[in-house]
Chain A
């Protein structure tokens, strides 16, 4: 290919001109630092022509050894300014050394030594450069000297600037000192203070002396006359205070801000002038305000507009009629002129070249000092595109171009043409035409049309020669190769480079990925593409702490729990890129008052080399007290295959084998139940989980829908000791309405869950003797809390044990939530980060599916069944033991959300309209051996608290 570029062929007659042309063409490729043409002549007059060359090399990997921190290796590499793929020259290396040396000195390493080593690869013409640093000891702060009119002594300057001898010198030492001094002078109104510092290194003592040259300048006072303004308004308006500087530009900006403030208060004719007075050692900056009459804009009328509606024009106007936020409206001649200009530009961008906006301002309209502003728009004819043609696209067909704004019949405007230029050139750049150019011509045609022609000059197409990957140490080559979005022979495309970079970052195993074209300025039609990776540390450690706060937690002695704060700590270790295959081994642990959990997982993405398949093995131990009745212990192993079906949907297929046990079951549960409930149960359960996510934003959803289906079957065929099927479906929708950018969102979520036993397994009915095989306590449905029904404390919904009153879960669940999410108002201090929501939750947990179906329209609990004579024993199957919880509980409430970088944090205040009633009891007789209660006597009916409060992260759904 390179020889072809020379233009010479075997058998040609060689002459001076053709040889010159060949040498220049070869040099222009950028691949050679030097060239010469040599000839060996044979007796018969035939010659062997040889081009002897010295290769150019291009910057490859740049590394640093023994880098001090700060600045750190990354900053040192950046400061070298050696760009990947660019030609490597001795001048660039010298500049890099100087830059790095300067950086080291700025960070106090004056005694550092810096050397370099290069490793050239003639095959790829890449050179890897390594800088070796011996940092030496860091310099410390030496003497402080002060010249000029500083108002402070050298010692005081050192104290103010935090320059203490023996402090290490860093890159910020001098700049921080200057900043602190400036602030000190500004506190004394010395806004014109000049502070300069010259550091000088003293090699004998390894210290840096700082010589300050300071001119404190006069004291400056800023006054506002003619109108009373609060100190805070003055400080906000005049940017001198914010910028900590005083210059004419800032003072002028202050004048403009004061004028804008006056106009916003209704003083539309206000004038603000500025002058300075100098006396001895003081400068007075005086703003004189002439407020004029106070007005109110009562009407802003727009007429003559047919193409744009009022709603399309008003939001961007600065002239506004009075409103709640603008009590006087907003008006000035300058603002009106600006609005006219913007409206005319908007029309012109849509083909109305002759648009004209006339304005009329009426004072004393409908009352004293009431202004009405009338804008009349003369749209004029709209110019449309007539004929449209693209020429010059000899290589790329116009059918493959992305959609353009300019089309026959569409509005003609320069704005559209400028956008189309960017679209087309961007398209060409990504098709391997880096030198493509674009011109547009428009010719007037009849009937207010413009015939438009786009002239494209494609230039030479550049292709990829080789894709060179460097920096790989442990990662297997195929892990990187399958993420590359380009290959040899493809047109050179910037988009492909960026996609490749993104995909490699997404693997999570590289801390840095750089892509570049080798020799970007060379004229060769085939170029190498460089992909340089830096593997991340393969072990990562995460630790954290936090707390959960909600009602229903905390007190295990009470059926309703209490308002509790549960601290929580976590520690995770991950081993990335296991065996270089992009497999991950993770250990996660959570320890808190309510939950202790340990998880070990092995994740293998791209199973069978399919990007949509992932295989995961998980071993899991969990010890949880979030149901007051018992502590759940679970030891399980899962193998799961995940499949991405499309952009919105995914499905997991899993087999789970677990041992579940309920321990610490409250001693007031009936003695007959305890042995059955506390028996560990082995479950083998194949299942699947399906997710379809069509939300516009997972954290702040405003539109779309979300569906999850989770189902499984535990059966003896799979080694399970209990036989039951389980399905849980949740479906949520989100609907925005209201003004654009100020939308309310109506969100709805419906959750239905059902467990159906089969074989020997049965459902236990509250208050009835337990069958021998039951769905284990930890496997039942529970509901209540910040992420489900906000009318109940944590897991407090549904059936309860009649003897103790503690929740025991159920085999059916129904929950429907409505939430009206309000747009965030603009508030002091928090701005628009806080928003509110009104919610309604309805639902409950039921003993089984039949009870759920019959209860859907029942909004009241049969409270009469929950009572009996006080002091009498509660007996299974009789009186208070027959208390039923088959009804739909309703709760309404108010939620407060605050936006944080990690998503919204949420406070919800729920009020249950029909809180649960259950029999209260007291233990009358205990088993002397086990301490368990064997006789419970009824005391009175108890009722769950209607008020509940929750703190969580993220939206409810």
Chain B
């Protein structure tokens, strides 16, 4: 962003029409917390960075999806204020960041940062947010999930066995931990949908339509 100096500083209170370039504006509010257009842009850039998609392909649907993700993130962030939640430690974040960077590819990393106007700190911040959310979801939802033996058996017989390559053998006992975790993750995804619906219904959320200027 071009660095500019603040030469004059005015707070307009009411209906004066103004024709300056809009640098940033409100995109939504969640329980009194403001989500700005720049936040939506950041989220969009990170998503495209992670997917290695060119930014030129970003559409208004992608913008909306990014804003909805930010709303969900804000609702989850409000849940992190409870005393039983411990945020992810710095070393864990650092380790995850290094892993992510290694997976991305060292040579592609620097160019991508420039291309998507991101920095290491920005990416690290996103990773921290994701890790905290995963921890919160695990803390809240995992204790509510029960997987019975019959479900594991059904999955083993109906899903796993048919997909095993010929000649490969995996017993139920060996497969049980993996199947259990898989089923837990599936149920947690369903539970997460339901939980987010509940949080949405209880929250005060206001969207500001893109293109509407403050008059």
Tell me the bound Cα distance from A230 to B34 in angstroms. 70
- Are the C-beta atoms of B39 and A20 separated by less than 8 Å? yes
Are B10 and A51 in touch, CB under 8 angstroms?
Answer: yes
Contact A47 B14 (CB under 8 A): no
Instruction: Report chain A residues within 8 Å CB of B1.
Output: 15-16
The segment from B18-26, B61-69, B87-95 that touches chain A is B18-26
Asked if A28 lies at the interface with its beta carbon under 8 angstroms from chain B, I say: yes
Taking CB atoms and an 8 Å cut-off, the chain A residues in 43-89 that contact chain B are 45-55
Q: Which residues of B contact A468 (CB under 8 A)?
A: none
Judge whether A10 and B8 touch: CB under 8 Å: yes
Dominant SS at the B interface?
Answer: strand
Asked whether B5 lies within 8 Å of A13 as measured between CB atoms, the reply is: yes
Given A3-B11, A23-B36, A35-B214, A50–B20 Cβ distance below 8 Å? Answer: yes
**Cβ < 8 Å to A, chain B residues 31-81:** 32-34, 36, 38-39
Are the C-beta atoms of A19 and B5 separated by less than 8 Å?
Answer: no
Selected contact of B38 from candidates A10, A20, A42, A48, CB within 8 Å: A20
B7 within 8 A of A: yes
Is B4's CB within 8 Å of the partner chain A? yes
Contact B4–A41 (Cβ < 8 Å): yes
Interface size on A, residues (CB 8 A): 41
A31 (CB) vs chain B CBs: closest residue? B13
Most buried by B among A3, A12, A28, A34: A34
User: For the complex, what is the distance from the CA of A11 to the CA of B8, rounded to whole Å?
Assistant: 9
Q: A24-B34, A122-B14 are in contact. Are A19 and B24 (CB under 8 A)?
A: yes
Which residue of the partner chain, among B6, B18, B38, B213, contacts A16 with CB atoms under 8 Å? B38
Task: Say yes or no: B214 contacts A37, CB within 8 Å.
Answer: no
When the two chains form their complex, are residues A39 and B20 in contact, meaning their CB atoms are under 8 A apart? yes
Contacts of B39 in A (CB 8 A): 20
A2–B25 Cα gap in the complex (Å)? 18
Most buried by A among B8, B16, B39: B8
Chain B, Cβ-Cβ closest to A27: B34
Most buried by A among B6, B13, B16: B6
* CB pair A38 B18 closer than 8 Å: yes
Pairwise interchain contact A10-B26, C-beta atoms closer than 8 A: no
Question: By the criterion CB–CB under 8 Å, are B4 and A52 in contact?
Answer: no
- Given A8-B9, A23-B36, decide whether A55 and B14 contact each other with a Cβ distance below 8 A: yes
CA distance A47 to B20 in the complex (A): 10
Are A54 and B215 in contact (CB-based, < 8 A)?
yes
B24 & A23 in contact (Cβ 8 Å cutoff): yes
* A36 CB–B CB distance under 8 Å: yes
Name which of B16, B20, B29 has the most chain A CB atoms within 10 A of its CB: B20
A40 located at the interface, meaning its Cβ lies under 8 Å from any Cβ of chain B in the complex:
yes
> Is B23 a contact partner of A19 (Cβ separation < 8 A)?
yes
Q: Given contacts A16-B38, A55-B14, is CB(A45)–CB(B20) below 8 Å?
A: no
Using CB atoms, name the residue of chain A closest to B4: A47
Q: Are B26 and A35 in contact (CB under 8 A)?
A: yes
Is A28 a contact partner of B214 (Cβ separation < 8 A)?
A: no
A122 to B33, CA, bound (A): 24
Question: Complex: how many Å from CA A16 to CA B2?
Answer: 10
Tell which of A10, A24, A27, A40 touches B20, judged by Cβ atoms closer than 8 Å.
Answer: A40
Shortest B3–chain A CB gap in Å is 5
**Residues of chain A lying within 8 A (CB to CB) of residue B14:** 55, 122
A49 touching B18 by the CB < 8 A rule? no
Given A36-B213, A52-B18, A2 and B5 touching (CB < 8 A)?
A: no
Question: How far is the CB of A878 from the nearest CB of chain B, in Å?
Answer: 100
B residues in contact with A39, CB < 8 Å: 4, 20-21, 23
In contact, A35 and B29 (Cβ under 8 angstroms)? no
Complex Cα spacing A36 to B16, Å: 13
Q: A23-B36, A36-B214, A40-B20 are in contact. Are A13 and B26 (CB under 8 A)?
A: no
With a cutoff of 8 Å between Cβ atoms, the chain B residues found around residue A35 in the complex are 25-26, 34, 214
Give the shortest distance, in Å, between A195 (CB) and chain B (any CB): 34
Bound complex: CA A3 to CA B6 (Å)? 13
Nearest B residue to A22 by beta-carbon distance?
Answer: B24
Which of A12, A26, A37 contacts B5 (CB under 8 A)?
A: A12
Chain B, Cβ-Cβ closest to A18: B6
The reply to whether A34 and B7 contact each other, CB–CB distance below 8 Å, is: no
**C-alpha spacing A30/B29, complex, angstroms:** 12
Task: Say whether B116 faces chain A, with CB atoms less than 8 Å apart.
Answer: no
Is A14's CB within 8 Å of the partner chain B?
yes
A38 pairs with B22, CB closer than 8 A: yes
B5 and A47 within 8 A (CB): yes
Question: With A and B bound together, what is the CA distance between A53 and B25 in angstroms?
Answer: 10
Q: How many residues of B contact A (CB 8 A)?
A: 33
Q: Which residue of chain A lies nearest to B5 when distances are taken between CB atoms in the complex?
A: A46
Given A16-B38, A54-B215, A55-B14: A37 and B7 interface contact (C-beta under 8 Å)? no
A35, B21: Cα distance in complex, Å: 14
Check: B12 CB closer than 8 A to any chain A CB. yes
B208 within 8 Å of A (CB atoms): yes
| A174 CA to B5 CA, complexed, in Å | 70
How close is A451's CB to chain B, nearest CB, in angstroms?
27
The verdict on A228 contacting chain B, using a C-beta distance below 8 Å, is no
Cβ A36 vs Cβ B22 within 8 A: yes
How many angstroms from the CA of A118 to the CA of B11 in the assembled complex? 25
How distant is B23 from chain A, measured CB to nearest CB, in Å? Answer: 5
Q: Which of the residues A13, A34, A48 comes within 8 Å of B214, measured between beta carbons?
A: A34
Using CB atoms, name the residue of chain B closest to A42. Answer: B7
- Encode contact with B along A521-532: 1 for CB under 8 Å, 0 otherwise: 100000000000
Q: Does A647 contact B (CB under 8 A)?
A: no
**What residues of A have a CB within 8 angstroms of the CB of B25 in the complex?**
23, 34-37
Contact: A46 with B23, CB < 8 Å?
no
Q: Cβ of A45 and Cβ of B5 under 8 Å apart?
A: yes
Q: How far is the CB of A124 from chain B (nearest CB, A)?
A: 12
In the assembled complex, A9 has its CB within 8 A of some CB on chain B:
yes
Q: Is B36 in contact with A53, judged by CB distance below 8 angstroms?
A: no
A50 contacts B12, CB within 8 Å?
A: yes
Interface centre among B7, B8, B10 (most CB of A within 10 A): B7
Q: State the Cβ distance, A507 to closest chain B Cβ, in Å.
A: 35
With A14-B3, A38-B21, A54-B214 given, is the CB distance from A48 to B26 under 8 Å? no
What residues on A are CB-neighbors of B214 within 8 Å?
34-36, 52-54
Residues of the A chain whose Cβ atoms lie less than 8 Å from the Cβ of B213? 36, 52
CA distance A35 to B23 in the complex (A): 11
Q: How far is the CA of A30 from the CA of B34 in the complex (A)?
A: 11
Q: Is the CB of A27 within 8 A of B12?
A: no
Contact residue among A15, A24, A40, A52 (Cβ-Cβ distance under 8 Å from B36): A24
Chain B proximity of A718: nearest CB distance (Å):
66
Contact B12 A52 (CB under 8 A): yes
> Which residues of chain A are within 8 angstroms of B13 by Cβ–Cβ distance?
53, 55, 122
Q: In the assembly, what is the distance between CA of A894 and CA of B127, in Å?
A: 90
Q: Are B26 and A36 in contact (CB under 8 A)?
A: yes
Q: Are B24 and A36 interface neighbours, CB within 8 A?
A: yes
Please give the distance in Å from B37's CB to the nearest CB on chain A: 8
Contacting residues, chain A, for B22 (C-beta < 8 A): 36-38
Q: How far is the CA of A45 from the CA of B13 in the complex (A)?
A: 26
A26 to B11, CA, bound (A): 10
> Measured between C-beta atoms, what is the minimum distance from B199 to chain A in Å?
18
Contacting pair B29 A27 (CB below 8 A): yes
Closest to B24 in A: A37
Q: Do B9 and A10 touch across chains, with their CB atoms under 8 A apart?
A: yes
Tell me the minimal C-beta distance from A34 to chain B in angstroms: 5
**Chain A residues whose C-beta falls within 8 Å of the C-beta of B34 in the assembled complex:** 23-24, 27-28, 35
A49 CB contacts on chain B under 8 angstroms: 6-10, 23
Question: Which residue of A has the minimal Cβ distance to B42?
Answer: A16
Q: What chain A residues lie within 8 Å of B26 (beta carbons)?
A: 23, 27, 34-36
Q: Restricting to A114-151, which residues have a CB under 8 Å from any CB of B? A: 122
Given contacts A49-B9, A50-B20, 13 further A-B contacts (CB under 8 A): A13-B5, A14-B5, A15-B1, A23-B24, A34-B214, A35-B26, A38-B18, A47-B5, A47-B7, A48-B10, A51-B12, A52-B12, A53-B214
Q: Pull 14 A–B residue pairs with CB atoms less than 8 Å apart, ordered by A.
A: A10-B8, A19-B38, A23-B36, A35-B25, A35-B26, A46-B4, A47-B6, A48-B8, A50-B20, A52-B18, A53-B13, A54-B215, A55-B13, A122-B14
5 closest cross-chain pairs (CB), A and B: A36-B25, A38-B20, A46-B7, A47-B4, A48-B8
